Structure 1
Amino acid sequence: MKSNNSLTPSYFQFTVFADYGPLRYLFFSLSLLIYMTIISANLVIVLSVCLENSLHQAMYIFICSLCLNSLYGSTGFFPRFLMDLLSDTHFISRPLCFTEMYITNTYVAHEVSLLTVMAYDRYVAICQPLHYHSKIKFRMVLLLLFLAVLHPVCILGSFFYLATTLPLCGNKLQRVFCNCWSIISFSCVDTTVINIASQFVAVASVFIPLSFVLYTYLRILLVCRRSSSEFRGKALQTCLPHIVTFGNYCISLFCEFSLSWYKVDEVNTFSVVLSLEFLIIPPIINPLVYGLNLPQIRTVISGFLNVGKTLHPV
């Protein structure tokens, strides 16, 4: 075992980055623009919820947490990615690689957990409106957020501990960021049990929340069928952003899992873009969907913009 550990590399090399010449500055500019858009759009939602007392409600607190998680995941990926676009060498140290891997994976798990909690909140609000304020108290909101954050950390922590102790016999990653299954594939020892367990946990972590969300919205649809058109309109207004967000995120995860589990012989630009979809599209879509569709948030943002124009007239 000692000899195996001595083979473990102290760094990894990303082999996907190519020498695009002057085009790399274009790719860098586009990526920087995407990163700045993600930061700006999510910060607007976070500040709106934090500064406006009328938005200190469970639904908006969960939306704020979703945007904070987008900032967390994007910041764990983009700075390093932007450096690699301009760099001539694409090496990353072992500690930094595992840190990036931990951030991107916990970001994914937190997003799924938060979207599941939000589905429960909408279910109680629409199907049990008389009991909403007794069930979704501020203490319950904090408890749900705590579980949504802690649950993925506990599950992923054990896998990352196993990954860090594996002796590795390779260091060339065919990705643009550190990926758990890619690292495990370098192991000098048999990892069949770890692969099966990790795939089972990954599938369960997605399909159990998905089943719960589908169940809650089935119940919501049944309630809406028996209700007035005005009630259906209000229910749709608060549920539609969540449905769009959750559906988009499931598609993103499907793309990522497909690329991670099935080895692609030739890595091309399309597969690279597809692998980044879950780090780019949801953090941009989430604040836009909630900011444009929920009138309460839209009103607060408009108020901030009007105040800015008053303080700094053209």
Structure 2
Amino acid sequence: MENVTSVKEFTLSGFDEILDYKLTFFCLTLMFYCVIIMVNVAVIVIITMDRNLHEPMYALLCNLCINGLFGTAGFYPKFLLDLLSHAQVISYAACLFQAFVIYSSVCIDICLLSVMAYDRYVAICRPLEYHSVMTRQRVAQLLTFSWLAPLGLSSSGLIFASRLKLCGSHIQKLYCATWMVVKLSCAATSWMTSTIPTNISAYIMILFYTFIGIFIVGTYVRLIRSCFKSLENRGKFMRTCVPHFIALFNVIIATLFDVMYMRYGSSDLPQSLQNFLSVEMIIVPPLVNPLIYGLTLTQIRNQILHPCLQKKS
């Protein structure tokens, strides 16, 4: 343990290949972040202001957009600041907080999409029972679960990671991740082997989200089977379930990219590819999700286009 150092800040070495173009990246990132804020806030305001949209499906969508703003707030401001700084460093406490915000946001996305899948299942497969099943109280309970469960699991992992003794301070990423902190632990021989409490926390999270994934797949299988039996159900599926399915597919692909980065991030892959794999889940879902719903759900699309139509008339 002679090489153990008291780490007070981390160096983000993922910036090494983009610093020559940092002004270009800064302008593009700032523009991209502004668009993300604009489209998510637009959907949130439309759903909040229109009483006709005060239904379970739109309440879930509103929370999905709020979570998109929550997750991107953990990445974009620091990333923009790093592009303007001479040294890309982050304090130990800020690193853990950033990891908590980003990864809990991804987990909240998965939970919200699972609840959305359940909502569509009840609406299409059990339409006569929908209002008795998806009551305001039930929706509030599901939303509370979708936020508190991921936040609790992420907090436990963060607490265990914060107790590890570190032997390094270089994070090969554009932002902090809990598993990267674990990887810097003196006791870690790989990103999955460190201490017993950390491993237990990781396995609990894996089991929890595996169960969520199985639940989502099972729900959509039953939905698709129901839609083949009825032309009316097929129309409902195309109008309301396809956006959910696209959003879910988008989050899954983004998460798989991050898993690929965890597995191959320190190998011979180009740094630019490593950066893309690590930020895809932060960049794409918060922008694509509100755009998908805004363009495909008639009620929201009409609210967006209504001011434009009034001006033309």
Both structures adopt the same fold (TM-score exceeding 0.5): yes
Corresponding residue for 1:30? Answer: 28
Structure 1 position 299, deviation (Å): 1.0
For 1:72, which of 59, 70, 73 is the aligned residue? Answer: 70
CA distance in 2, matches of 1:19, 1:239: 41
For 1:142, which of 140, 143, 163 is the aligned residue? Answer: 140
Counterparts in 2 of 1:73-88, with a 5 A limit? Answer: 73-88=71-86
CA distance in 2, matches of 1:195, 1:158: 9
CA distance in 2, matches of 1:68, 1:142: 15
CA distance in 2, matches of 1:304, 1:178: 42
Shifted more, 215-224 versus 42-51: the winner is 215-224
Is 1:303 the counterpart of 2:312 in the alignment?
Answer: no
CA distance in 2, matches of 1:221, 1:74: 33
TM score, norm. by length of structure 2: 0.92
CA distance in 2, matches of 1:22, 1:176: 15
Structure 1 position 20, deviation (Å): 5.1
CA distance in 1, matches of 2:172, 2:242: 37
- Structure 1: which 4+ aligned runs deviate by more than 3 Å? 19-22, 192-199, 304-307
CA distance in 1, matches of 2:14, 2:168: 16
- Give per-residue Cα distances to partners, 1:102-149, cap 9 Å, x unaligned: 101110110011000111101111111111000101111111000111
Task: Give, as a single letter, the amino acid of the residue that structure 2 aligns with 1:102.
Answer: F
CA distance in 2, matches of 1:36, 1:294: 23
Corresponding residue for 2:45? Answer: 47
CA 1:19 to 1:147, structure 2 compared with 1: closer, same or farther past 3 Å? closer
Is 1:217 the counterpart of 2:220 in the alignment?
Answer: yes
Counterparts in 2 of 1:89-108, with a 5 A limit? Answer: 89-108=87-106
Question: Which segments of 5 or more consecutive residues in structure 2 lack a partner in the other structure?
Answer: 189-193
Is 1:244 the counterpart of 2:242 in the alignment?
Answer: no
CA distance in 1, matches of 2:202, 2:41: 34
Query: In the alignment, is the contact (CA less than 8 A) between 2:111 and 2:212 conserved in 1?
Result: yes
Corresponding residue for 1:197? Answer: 200
Corresponding residue for 1:14? Answer: 12
Corresponding residue for 1:58? Answer: 56
TM score, norm. by length of structure 1: 0.91
CA distance in 2, matches of 1:192, 1:57: 45
CA distance in 2, matches of 1:18, 1:235: 46
Cα RMSD of the aligned pairs, angstroms, is 2.1
Structure 1 position 21, deviation (Å): 6.1
Corresponding residue for 1:257? Answer: 259
CA distance in 1, matches of 2:18, 2:219: 48
Q: Among all aligned residue pairs of Structure 1 and Structure 2, give the percentage whose two residues are the same amino acid.
A: 35
